[in-house]
Structure 1
Amino acid sequence: MLEEADFDTDVEAAPIDMLESYFAAHGWSHEREDEEIVARVKGSWVEYEMRAIYREEDGVLQYLVFPDVRVPKERRAAVYEALGLINEQLWVGHFELWSSSGILLYRHAAMIDASDGGNMSLAQTELLVESAIDECERFYPVFQFVLWGGKSPEEALASALIDTQGEA
C-alpha cells in the first residue's frame, strides 16, 4: 500500500485517471486506452493482469483480475463447485469462470456517483485494487489444489484457508 506521504490523499479523479496514477505510483506496468486500463502486478503466486473498464453513462467501473489460470474442460465441474464455495466467503466481488475459454477471473463492479462528479478517491481506489489482489492471493491455492493437487473443492478450500504463523 502507498504511504500517505507518497500520494495526496485528498485528490479525486475520474476512475481510469485515478487508477492510472495509482498504478504509476506503485511502478506497475500499465497501458491505457480511453476508458480502459490494463496493468500487471506480481503476486506471491503468479503475475496478475488487472483490467478496469469505466462506462460513464452507467456510472459503473468493472474491475477484473486474471490470475493466469485456465481450466481444462474435464476439470470445470470441480472448479465450478469450488467457485460456489469460495464466493460464499466473499463480501465484495466474486470469482467466475468464462465457459468459452476456461479463463478464471475475479470481478468487482463499483458504482461511481455521477452527482459527486463521477470521481474516485485514493481510498476507494486503494480498496478496490488491494482487496481484489488480496482475494486472488487468498484463493489461488484452492484452484491449484483442485486442478493439479487432486483435492475435492471442500478439501482444497480447507487446506488453503489454514492460518499460518509467519512466512517461510
Structure 2
Amino acid sequence: MMENDDFEQHGHEAEPLDMLASYFEANGWAYEHNGEDEISATMQGSWTQYELRAIWREEDQVLQLLALPDIRVTDEKRSAIYETIGLINEQLWLGHFELWSNSGVVLFRHGALLSGGDVLTLDQTQLLVEAALDECERFYPVFQFVLWGGKTPAEALAASMIETRGEA
C-alpha cells in the first residue's frame, strides 16, 4: 500500500473522490470517475481481482465504499450464501457483506460519515480502503468453500478462520 510520503505533493486531505483518485493512482490501480459523485477502481488481491466503488453523497456528508470481489452466486446457492453472510457479518465491527438480489453479486459495503466539511484525510482513505480489502481477502475462502467446496456455512467459516503464520 501507499506511504504517507506519496501524498506530500497532494496534501493530506482533499475532497473525498479526489483523495480516493490520488490514493488509487499512487497504488497503481486503474480507476475512473463515473460521474461527479462516483469513482471506481480495480486491483488484484491475493484471491481475486476486486472492483472498488465509492459514492459521495454531499448533502448527507456520507462516503459509501463498496468492494466487489469476483463472486457470483447462482439461484441454487443463494440461501446458503445468505446464511454465510449472516455468520460472517457477526464477525465484523465495520461494514458488512451483502448479496445483491438482482445480480447475484457478493459485495462488502461500508459508509463513512464525514462531519465537519467535505474532506477526506489520507488516514481515513487508507482505513476505508484497506479495511474493505482486508475483510474481502479474509472471507473470500469462506464463500468459495460454500459455493465450490460443498461445505455448510458454519463449516466453511470454521475452516477459513484457522490462523496461519507466514506465507506459502
Shorter-chain TM-score above 0.5: yes
Please state whether the residue corresponding to 1:134 is helix, strand or coil. Answer: helix
Q: How does 1:100-139 map to 2 (within 5 A)?
A: 100-113=102-115, 116-139=116-139
Question: CA-to-partner distance for each residue in 1:74-99, whole Å, 9 max, x for gaps?
Answer: 10111100100000000000000011
Aligned to 1:147: 147
Aligned to 2:164: 164
Aligned to 1:69: 71
Query: Whole-Å Cα distance in 1 between the matches of residues 117 and 166 of structure 2?
Result: 43
Aligned to 2:83: 81
Unaligned runs of 5+ in 2: none
TM-score normalised by the chain length of structure 2: 0.95
Aligned to 2:28: 27
Query: Whole-Å Cα distance in 1 between the matches of residues 144 and 150 of structure 2?
Result: 9
Query: Whole-Å Cα distance in 2 between the matches of residues 107 and 154 of structure 1?
Result: 22
TM-score normalised by the chain length of structure 1: 0.95
Aligned to 1:91: 93
Distance 1:74 1:152, change over 3 A: same
1:4 offset after TM fit, Å? 2.6
Query: Whole-Å Cα distance in 2 between the matches of residues 121 and 145 of structure 1?
Result: 37
Query: Whole-Å Cα distance in 1 between the matches of residues 11 and 162 of structure 2?
Result: 38
Unaligned runs of 5+ in 1: none
Please state whether the residue corresponding to 1:53 is helix, strand or coil. Answer: strand
Question: CA-to-partner distance for each residue in 1:57-88, whole Å, 9 max, x for gaps?
Answer: 11111110110111001101111001000000
2:161 maps to a residue whose letter is: L
Question: CA-to-partner distance for each residue in 1:114-148, whole Å, 9 max, x for gaps?
Answer: xx221010000000000000000000000000000
1:10 offset after TM fit, Å? 5.6
- The share of aligned pairs that are identical, in percent, is 62
Moved over 4 A (4+): none
Query: Whole-Å Cα distance in 2 between the matches of residues 67 and 117 of structure 1?
Result: 31
Query: Whole-Å Cα distance in 2 between the matches of residues 46 and 108 of structure 1?
Result: 20
Over aligned residue pairs, what C-alpha RMSD do you find?
1.2
1:50 aligned to 52, 58, 61, which one?
52
Query: Whole-Å Cα distance in 1 between the matches of residues 126 and 5 of structure 2?
Result: 15
Contact 2:4 2:122 in 1 (8 A): no
Query: Whole-Å Cα distance in 2 between the matches of residues 27 and 72 of structure 1?
Result: 33
Number of equivalent positions: 166
Contact 2:47 2:137 in 1 (8 A): yes
